[in-house]
Amino acid sequence: MKFAIQLLLIALLAFFGAAATVDQKPVIISYPKDTPQSVLDEAMETIRKAGGVITHEYSIIRGFAAKASTEAMDTVKAWGTKHDVIIEEDQVITTNND
């Protein structure tokens, strides 16, 4: 009986752990040059609090890459309307037809 309960708990943890990461998408979030650093910091903190991960902070552009939930991206987009935030899917782009 103990073994069955432990097995059930392990299965439930695996299920909910997988379900928690299913809705996260890789994105690039960027802002215009004159955007205050505090706006970027707030956006990154919002993503982290929602269980997302910042995968890269860019130095050439005002932005960062992340894996984030749709809800976190919606919040960042709503807060970023004043600063013209751009949120796009992070994907590989090639210059030839491969």
pLDDT computed for residue 87 by the predictor: 92
Q: Whole-prediction pTM value? A: 0.71
DSSP 23: T
CATH superfamily ID and name for 23-98: Peptidase S8 propeptide/proteinase inhibitor I9 (3.30.70.80)
For the chain, give every domain's residue range: 23-98
CA distances from 40 to 21, 26, 34, 77, 85 (A): 23, 17, 11, 12, 10
pLDDT computed for residue 30 by the predictor: 96
Mean pLDDT per 10-residue interval, the chain, length 98 residues? 56 56 85 94 95 95 95 89 89 80
pLDDT computed for residue 16 by the predictor: 59
Residue 33 C-beta-side C-alpha neighbours within 13 Å:
1
Residue located via tokens 């210059």: 95
- Specify whether the CB–CB gap between 30 and 65 falls below 8 A: no
Residue located via tokens 């005002």: 62
